[in-house]
Structure 1
Amino acid sequence: MQRIEADPDFEDEGAVFDADSLYGDSTTSITSSILRGVDEHGRTYAAYGKSGYGMPIDGDELDRIDMKHRMYSMLLDEELFLAPIGSSPHRVLDLGTGSGIWAIDFADQFPSADVLGVDVAPIQPDWVPPNCHFEIDDVEEQFTYHQKFDFIHSRDFLFSIKDWPRLVGQCYEQLVPGGYLELQCLLPVPNCDDDSAPPESGVPIFSTKVIEASQIVGWSLLEPNNFAKYLREAGFVNVVEKRYKVPTGPWPLNKRLKLIGAFEMQSLLQGASAFSLMAFSKAFGWTKEETEVFLVALRRDVKNLRYHTYYEFIVAYGQRPKDVGTTKEASPESPTAESVGSPGKTESEDSPPKV
C-alpha cells in the first residue's frame, strides 16, 4: 500500500485544524419507552439485542453515521458497494442499518430492489422510498427471514458482533445461489508511514486502548482482518478483499484525501465518547469522567496536522456458488486481495504520490 503525501502547508510547528460540526441535530420521536432505549453515561443506547450494542443511538450518533456515509461514498468513488451484483437486484438486506441512509440510497439507485434494513434500534426515518423498509432485529439471533436475498450488506459493525463466523454462515444460507455478501468496516489500527506521529500521541494511545477494551468485552475491533477468511470458511467463492487508507485528519496534499481526512477527524472528535464510554465502563470500570480525561489527548492531537496517521477501511465480499449442489469445501483457499486508494485500482495505478 503506497503512502499519502502530506500537505506541506501544515508542516509548521503546532499547526492544527479546527472545524465546526458538519451536521445539525436530528432525532426521531419514539413514544414507547422500550423503543426509546436506555440512558447510560449521558448517552442513549439500544434496549433491544442479545449481546447489547456498545454505541449510542441518539441524535449526535445519527449525525455522525450520516457524516461517515458521505465519507465512505467519497472513499469508494461514489459507490455504495463493490460486489458485482448486476444492474437489477431484487431482494437486498442491510444488516445493522443504523440511520438507514445506506439502504435509502440503495433503494433510490436500484428501483428494482426491495431493500430491507434491520437494526436493534428503531432510529430510521419515516419518509423513505417505497421499495425500502425497516425492521427491528438482532442479527446475532437466528435469522427468521422468509425469503432469500440477492445481496446482503453490512458496514461498520463496531461494538456489535461477538460471533462473526456464525453471522457470515447465516448470511450464506440466506442468499440465493449466486448472491453476494459484502462486509465493510473501519479497522481502527493506527498507521503512520513517515513516523511523524510518536507512539505516545493521542491517536495511537486512543486506538490501542479502545481495541483492548473491545477485545475484553467481546466486540473485537480487529475482526475486519478476518472477513475474507470467514467468507471462505462459510463456503463463499470469488472472495475479494480491498483496503483503503483513511487519514485521521486533513493533512494529505491530495484534495480528495484531505476532505476524507477532515470527515474522519470530525468523526473522532464527535464520536470519541461514543466509541469509549460503554466499552471503557465494561472493560475497565471507568467512570464517564475518567473516560473524558483520557480522551483529552486524542482530541488535542487529532487536530495536529504534523501527525500523519491513518486507519484502514476494509471491504470484503464473496459469492454463494451458483450451483446449488456445490459444497462448501469447493470454495477457494485464498481471496483476491488489493490495497488501494480507490476502488478497482491496484496500488501501482493509484495516483497519490508517496510521502
Structure 2
Amino acid sequence: MPIDEEELDRIDLKHRLYTMLLGEKLFLAPIQPNPQRILDLGTGSGIWAIDMADAYTSAEVLGVDLAPIQPQWVPSNCRFEIDDVEEPWTYGRTFDFIHARDFLFSILDWQNLVNSCYENTTPGGYTELQCLLPEAHCDDDSTPADQGVREFSEKVCDASEIAGWSLREPKNYKKYMENAGFEDVTEVRYKIPTSSWPKDKRTKMLGALEMQSLLQGASAFSLRAFSRAYGWTQTQTEMFLLKMRHDVRDLRYHTYYQFIVCYGRKPGSLIPGASDSAVSLGHHGE
C-alpha cells in the first residue's frame, strides 16, 4: 500500500469509524485495568497506539510497522519501531495486550502470526485481532449481483487470494487463535454500511465514513491486487473502478461489510477485577 498524506488521512478516518462502531471503545477484550505493556501490530499512523497511551497511563505502548510514518510528538509512554511482524519477534518481553487492526494485504501466514502473538502474550493477557471483511452483503435483496460494490468486492477478494494475502482471512481468526492455544476465544461481528443508506443517524454516519474510505482508498489497494493477480494496468484498474464509484453513491443499494473482532486469553492467572475494563474515549483514566 502506498503511504502518503491521503492514505494517512484515510487510516485516521477508519480509526474514527471503528471507534464509533465499538461504542467509543478501542477494543473489546476484558484486559486488566492497569496493563503494563501493550503492543500494536501494523500501527500505521499510530493513532490507536497514541489513544491507548492516553487512556492507559500505566502502560508502555509500543507500535510497530514497516513504514516509519508515525508522528514525532506522542505521549511519553508511547513509542514506535520499524519491524516486520512476520519475522521472528525479538522484543525480549511479553505483553499484557497485543492488538492488530486491518492487516489488509499484509500477512502471508496468519497462523504463524497468531502463534507469535500467543508466545509473546503474558499469561492471563489478551490478543485481539480486528479487521474489515470486504465481502459485500445485502439483507433486503436491494442489491443485484452485478452492482458495482458487489462486483468490486468479489474481484478484489479473489485477487488477494491469488496474490497470496487473502482478504477473507478474518473469517479464520477464531480458528487460528484456538489453534495457537488461546482460551475463551470470542468473535464479534459488526455491520458497516458501504454508504449512508441507513435511516438511523449513527449507522448513516458509519456508512458515510466507509463510503469515503472506499472512494479514497480503492485505487491504492486495487492497483496492487489487480496488477499482481491479473496483470492489469493502472488504466484497466481505474476503468473497472468506475462502476463501483458510481454505484456506491446510490442509496437504493443497501450493501454492507462486516467488521470482525476476535480476542482470546492466554492461559494463566488473571489479575482480580480484570473484566469490563475497556476504556471509552472521552472517559480516559476513569
Normalised by the length of structure 2, the TM-score is: 0.93
Count the aligned residue pairs.
271
Question: Which residue matches 1:306?
Answer: 252
1:99-248 to 2 correspondence within 5 Å? 99-248=45-194
Choose the corresponding residue for 1:88, options 18, 28, 34.
34
Partner amino acid, structure 2, of 1:72: Y
Question: Which residue matches 1:297?
Answer: 243
Task: Determine what percentage of the aligned residue pairs are the same residue.
Answer: 66
Query: Cα deviations across residues 70-98 of structure 1 (Å, max 9, x unaligned)?
Result: 00000000000000002211100000000
> What is the alpha-carbon distance in structure 2 between the residues aligned to residue 78 and residue 87 of structure 1?
17
How large is the Cα RMSD of the aligned pairs?
1.2
Question: Which residue matches 1:254?
Answer: 200
> What is the alpha-carbon distance in structure 2 between the residues aligned to residue 178 and residue 122 of structure 1?
31
Partner amino acid, structure 1, of 2:118: Y
> What is the alpha-carbon distance in structure 1 between the residues aligned to residue 107 and residue 3 of structure 2?
16
Partner amino acid, structure 1, of 2:141: D
Query: Cα deviations across residues 317-350 of structure 1 (Å, max 9, x unaligned)?
Result: 00000069xxxxxxxxxxxxxxxxxx9xxxxxxx
> What is the alpha-carbon distance in structure 1 between the residues aligned to residue 225 and residue 3 of structure 2?
15
Query: Cα deviations across residues 234-292 of structure 1 (Å, max 9, x unaligned)?
Result: 00001100000000000101110000000000000001102201111111111111100
User: Where has structure 1 moved over 6 Å in runs of 4 or more?
Assistant: none
CA drift at 1:57: 1.2
- SS of residue paired to 1:304: coil
User: What runs of 5+ residues in structure 2 fail to find an aligned partner?
Assistant: 271-277, 279-286
> What is the alpha-carbon distance in structure 2 between the residues aligned to residue 245 and residue 200 of structure 1?
21
> What is the alpha-carbon distance in structure 2 between the residues aligned to residue 247 and residue 192 of structure 1?
9
- SS of residue paired to 2:2: coil
Partner amino acid, structure 1, of 2:59: A
- SS of residue paired to 2:52: helix
CA drift at 1:305: 0.3
CA drift at 1:232: 0.4
Partner amino acid, structure 1, of 2:133: L
Partner amino acid, structure 1, of 2:29: A
Query: Cα deviations across residues 30-69 of structure 1 (Å, max 9, x unaligned)?
Result: xxxxxxxxxxxxxxxxxxxxxxxxx221111111000000
Question: Which residue matches 1:52?
Answer: none
> What is the alpha-carbon distance in structure 2 between the residues aligned to residue 176 and residue 310 of structure 1?
36
Partner amino acid, structure 1, of 2:105: F
Partner amino acid, structure 2, of 1:128: V
Question: Which residue matches 2:283?
Answer: none
Pair 1:316-2:258 in alignment:
no
- Shift in alpha-carbon separation, 1:323–1:111, aligned structure 2, 3 A: closer
Pair 1:72-2:18 in alignment:
yes
Normalised by the length of structure 1, the TM-score is: 0.75
> What is the alpha-carbon distance in structure 2 between the residues aligned to residue 86 and residue 177 of structure 1?
12
> What is the alpha-carbon distance in structure 2 between the residues aligned to residue 242 and residue 133 of structure 1?
29
> What is the alpha-carbon distance in structure 2 between the residues aligned to residue 176 and residue 158 of structure 1?
26
> What is the alpha-carbon distance in structure 2 between the residues aligned to residue 246 and residue 116 of structure 1?
29
Partner amino acid, structure 1, of 2:67: A
Pair 1:286-2:232 in alignment:
yes
> What is the alpha-carbon distance in structure 1 between the residues aligned to residue 144 and residue 18 of structure 2?
27
> What is the alpha-carbon distance in structure 2 between the residues aligned to residue 224 and residue 145 of structure 1?
26
Larger radius of gyration: 1
Partner amino acid, structure 1, of 2:120: Q
